[in-house]
Chain A
Amino acid sequence: MPVIKINLKKLEKLLEFKISREKIIETIPIIGSDIENIEENYLYVEFFPNRPDLYSIEGVARALKYFLEIDEAKEYKLEKSDIKVYVDSTVKHVRPYIVACLIEDVRFEDDEDIEHLIEFQEDLHWALGRNRRKVAIGIHDYDKILSKTFYYTTSKHEKFIPLNETREYTLDEILMYHETGKKYGYIIKEAKRYPVIKDSKLRIISFPPIINADFTRISLDTRRIFVEMTGTDKYLLEKAMNIFTSNLIERGCKVKSVEIIYDKNNIVVTPNLRFEEFPLKIDHVREILGLELNIDEISKCLKRMGYIVEELNTSTLKVRIPPYRVDIFHEIDLIEDVAIGYGYPNIKETIPKVHTMAKPDRFEELAKRLRKLLIGLGFNEVLTLTLTNREFEMKCGINKNAVEIQNPIGKEYKNLRTSIIPSLIRFLTINKYKELPIKIFEIGNVFEIVEDEKVLERKNLCLMIYDSKANINDVLSIIYVLEKFFNVSFKLEYTDENVCLKNRCGKIYYKNRQIGIFGELNPKILIEADLNSPVAFLEINLDYLT
């Protein structure tokens, strides 16, 4: 999640009202954020991905003004510009949509303002644009273009000087050699022709979603900005544009709309900056929150959260949602904002009246008693990872069909374990210089693929005794104890599986089903695991004993 750097001096200026820093620092988390760090003049705040409108200082100032009741939300005024963007039908196959606007009365005080704007742009790319796939934003110094017409079209072979470069590149060269080209090129690589935006002189001003031209670059002298956003999701483009422009309005800029001409019959004016209506039932608010709020109190809470609220009737509010909000799907989202507007610290807790009987899980209860027993026998409980690799299991003489991860963190952790034995061997290797005997156990999950690609998740107990005198008799005694514990009798049979030392190992059968293996580890495995003393072990499946 993005961490926004807030210059407190600039924030105070935007608030237009003297508010103490303590109050600001106290209020920001209550609106919904996590303050990561506080410095003398800066706050570093993490806002949630459902509120990208708070990803710039202007948005934070606006939210604070409403929450602290310094100001109330009102409709945005929007003037028209005479700029037109003509959309070529060839873009349909690459990035079909574009929105644009002109922003006037821009005033950057210092380089930090420009940096902040660019970071805001990048955070929107992350939160709404899915890293430029769905939305890519380009901002240009309009006075360096001075064009009334723009063309959103496609091209393949043209050249231009990309941002911060000194020579011309072809579009393919940018994808191949330029840093951002390499990073975002995958989004359009498959296309036969690439999207470009040109001005009336047919100069390329932008190669979305990769890079702008160098000549339209923003500077401290910039007074007018031409904003274009292209992408694949019309709704998100409109939202991104609304957020971007409404936040700039907060710092005194004027926004002028642009006509987007797809064809004669399809002309869109952007941005729209419209407040959408949503009805809210008072009863629903009370029912969800458990707060006995009246209609006035609810509308006050909503106003503190930036909504324009009207009473539709005694039981319903007409809530007008600011154009920069992207997170209102359902009435429930407004109800949460009522709670935030009311202030979480002001809500008095109640205890739910749902009367139910406690019921522990059968296996967990059994495992709990079994752990007690093993601790009584001097075994330490250990926990190990269930991620392992099959090669290591095979080295340990275990060869079962394992669940396999498509995108593992490394070869060592490519599979889910089919047995706990390798896990405990690894544990012993880590602890081989410790005082002996080491007696350990783990009750945990093992996973195996059985017929039809079905995954069987089982609960096993595995225990090991690592000592110069460890031998099969130690675990035979444990089997005796387990028989008493489960009140069953096991049938034991000799086995010569690879994991074992021959003549010193057996399988455990319960009701004619093999449920376990025990004995002394094969010395080859001990050498492989760099262990110098013998290991007596037992692994038993608990599912049939529960």
Chain B
Amino acid sequence: MKIENPIEKNVFLALKETKRATLDEICKRTGLDKDKVSRAIYWLINKGIVKIEEKKDFIIRRKKDYLPEYLLYDYLVKEGNKHINELRDKFKDINILIGWLRKKNLIEIKNGVVYPKEFKETEDLKLFNMLKHPVRYSELNDELKKGFDMLKSRKEFIEIKEISEKYYVLTDLGMKYEITVEEDHLTSLTPEIILNLKEGKLSYDNINVVKAEFIKKPVKIAKLHPLRELMEEIREIFLGMGFEEISGNVVESCFWNFDALFVPQDHPAREMQDTFYLSKPSRLDIDEKFLENVKKAHEGGYYSVGWRYKWKKSLAEKALLRTHTTAVTIRYLAYNGNKESKVFYIGRVYRKEKITYKHLPEFHQVEGIVVGKVTFRDLMGILKEFYKRLGFEKIRFRPSYFPYTEPSLEIEIFFEKKGKWLELGGAGMFRPEVVRPFGIEYNVLAWGLGLERLVMLRYELDDIRKLYFSDIDWLRYI
């Protein structure tokens, strides 16, 4: 237990000197205001150094300016001996007065005659004279206390009010507690000390600082969101491999999200139960220059048998929230044409999923694209490099299926923490039916992965909602 606070220190010292003191007394002694002292006392009580003692006391006040027996005594001294019967006419309650004076040994009575004796100031008179101002019983000395005992029954002349008062005293622990030399010293350096050192008023050897206690108190940490950390990491990886970052929009037509990617117009993924369609706006314009070629790819062309149906423009115009980032990359390819390029995009995608620990209706994907004289082996090579930079040394591929890539593959990484192979992303080469309509003759490598899954693996999260309906403390301290 330590008293470090300077106010507490002052209060402690005041109590140590007085042994017992009221709040007012401590304030007076320390020169501090009531608020500060109360707070310091509160802490000292908590530390077991100070305790409260409740004490009863009396405040004594006088009601009259005199005690009547002395009027009688003064009269006797002035007029000489008198017979009691003579006095009875002059003084009310003569018997009581004579009783008091006899008690105080100020008179003598012989055969009914009252003789005054030599004056002597009794304790009760002493006290009574003091009572020009009210006095506390606890402040009286023994002599005056005797006076109080004599006076206390005389309610006509004095008023006694009982009060109870709080005192603060040191506990046994407090009595033993010493503000050591060390503690009287500095907790750390101050500008004054540095100045004094500089000016030679103080030498280093004379500085005694308190030995620090090693307590690691948490502070609130401002940070990037864990998903952002991953996104930035992935951006760095792509930029480090010479890729260009592209941008795109969320509200998209079926055309770019599906048709341009050779997804048939009756594909299950296009149904209302999987994709968010919009009622406002319900349709979007499609650049006329691409319509005919995409229609041709679907109906059969570019050396493909196509989907054997009549492609409908009206279905392609429907507005939706993009379901994958490939909507952005295919748009880029369409407008960029047959040029060598390497691009990537990171963004949100939307799927019609209820909010559960496993799924959210929106999440992030990243996608990389290489356009050029490239091969399936190149795809495997760049994937290996990309995942290595993401921290996955062990990686393997197996065949997969996407409507818009052929050949396609699934990426599996060996996740050390769990000791097993996990699926982490898909890849492939864009089908001729996808790229030829946009005049692209080069081969196109493409791959993508969902970011939430990777973040969840990294932080061992089992509830995806934590990323979007976050606990601020989780964000602060993760």
Contacts and interface: CB of A to CB of B under 8 A. Distances in A.
Interface of A: 29-32, 34, 48-51, 130, 233, 235, 287-291, 329-333, 335-336, 339-340, 344-345, 347-361, 363-364, 368, 371, 374-387, 402-410, 413, 416, 427, 430-431, 434-435, 438-440, 445, 447, 449, 453-455, 457
A347 B350 CA distance: 35
Given A364-B247, A430-B471, 16 more contacts: A32-B398, A291-B376, A332-B431, A349-B378, A349-B383, A350-B378, A352-B381, A357-B242, A358-B242, A378-B222, A381-B223, A382-B475, A406-B279, A416-B251, A445-B348, A455-B281
Contacts of A332: 406-407, 429, 431-432
Contact of B280 (A235, A383, A403, A430): A403
Contact of A360 (B225, B235, B401): B235
B353 A364 contact: no
B382 A375 contact: no
Contacts of B419: none
Contacts of A404: 278-280
A345 B396 contact: yes
A77 B389 CA distance: 54
Interface centre among A288, A291, A354, A427 (most CB of B within 10 A): A354
Given A32-B400, A407-B276, A349 B223 contact: no
Interface in B403-442: 406-410, 423, 429, 431-433
A124 B250 CA distance: 34
A27 B408 CA distance: 17
B176 interface: no
B377 A385 contact: no
A51 to B, nearest CB: 8
Nearest to B283: A453
Contacts of B385: 351
B470 interface: yes
B162 interface: no
15 contacts: A288-B407, A289-B377, A330-B305, A330-B406, A332-B429, A335-B406, A354-B342, A356-B242, A358-B238, A358-B244, A359-B239, A361-B247, A375-B224, A380-B476, A385-B360
B90 interface: no
Nearest first, the 9 A-B pairs at minimum CB distance are A290-B375, A48-B401, A32-B399, A349-B381, A290-B377, A336-B407, A354-B372, A404-B280, A352-B378
A344 B399 contact: yes
B354 interface: yes
A386 B306 CA distance: 37
A410 B222 CA distance: 34
B381 A344 contact: no
A32 to B, nearest CB: 4
B468 interface: yes
Nearest to A334: B406
Interface centre among B250, B305, B360, B406 (most CB of A within 10 A): B406
Given A339-B407, A447-B251, A350 B282 contact: no
A429 to B, nearest CB: 10
B341 A50 contact: no
A413 B228 CA distance: 23
B361 A371 contact: no
Contacts of A353: 372-374, 378
B198 interface: no
A291 B251 CA distance: 40
A336 B279 contact: no
B57 interface: no
Given A360-B239, A381-B224, A386-B348, A344 B398 contact: yes
Contacts of B365: none
Given A34-B410, A351-B378, A329 B304 contact: yes
Interface residues of B, number: 95
A455 B282 CA distance: 11
Contacts of A385: 360-362, 468
A290 B227 CA distance: 36
Contacts of B43: none
Interface of B: 220, 222-225, 227-228, 232, 235, 238-247, 249-251, 266, 268, 272-273, 276-282, 302-306, 308, 321, 340-342, 348, 350, 352-355, 360-362, 370-385, 396-401, 406-410, 423, 429, 431-433, 443, 445, 467-473, 475-476
A290 B372 CA distance: 13
Contacts of A457: 249-251
A408 B222 contact: no
Nearest to B359: A409
A350 B470 contact: no
Given A380-B475, A434-B473, A408 B276 contact: yes
Contacts of B373: 353-354
A356 B251 contact: no
Contact of B375 (A287, A378, A403, A406): A287
Contact of B362 (A50, A355, A371, A386): A386
A347 B222 contact: no
B353 A409 contact: yes
A130 B380 contact: no
A398 B220 CA distance: 31
Contact of A383 (B222, B239, B410, B467): B467
A364 B250 contact: no
A289 B383 CA distance: 15
A203 B119 CA distance: 147
Nearest to B380: A349
A26 to B, nearest CB: 11
A515 B371 CA distance: 39
Nearest to A126: B268
Contacts of B250: 386, 416, 445, 447, 457
B380 A361 contact: no
A408 B321 CA distance: 11
B306 A329 contact: yes
Contacts of A382: 225, 470, 472, 475
Contacts of B443: 287-288
B472 A344 contact: no
A336 B228 CA distance: 36
A375 B362 contact: no
Contacts of A335: 406-407
Nearest to A339: B407
A431 B471 contact: yes
B468 A368 contact: no
A345 B277 CA distance: 40
B179 to A, nearest CB: 34
Given A336-B406, A336-B408, A383-B467, A349 B384 contact: yes
A25 B281 CA distance: 49
A333 B377 contact: no
A356 B340 contact: yes
A416 B282 CA distance: 14
Nearest to A438: B472
A520 B224 CA distance: 25
B244 A405 contact: no
B376 A288 contact: yes
Nearest to A374: B222
Contacts of A413: 361
Contacts of A386: 250, 348, 362
Given A331-B303, A385-B362, A440-B472, A403 B281 contact: yes
Contact of B227 (A329, A380, A383): A383
A34 B423 contact: yes
Contact of B304 (A30, A290, A330, A387): A330
B378 A290 contact: yes
Contacts of B225: 381-383
Contacts of A358: 238-244
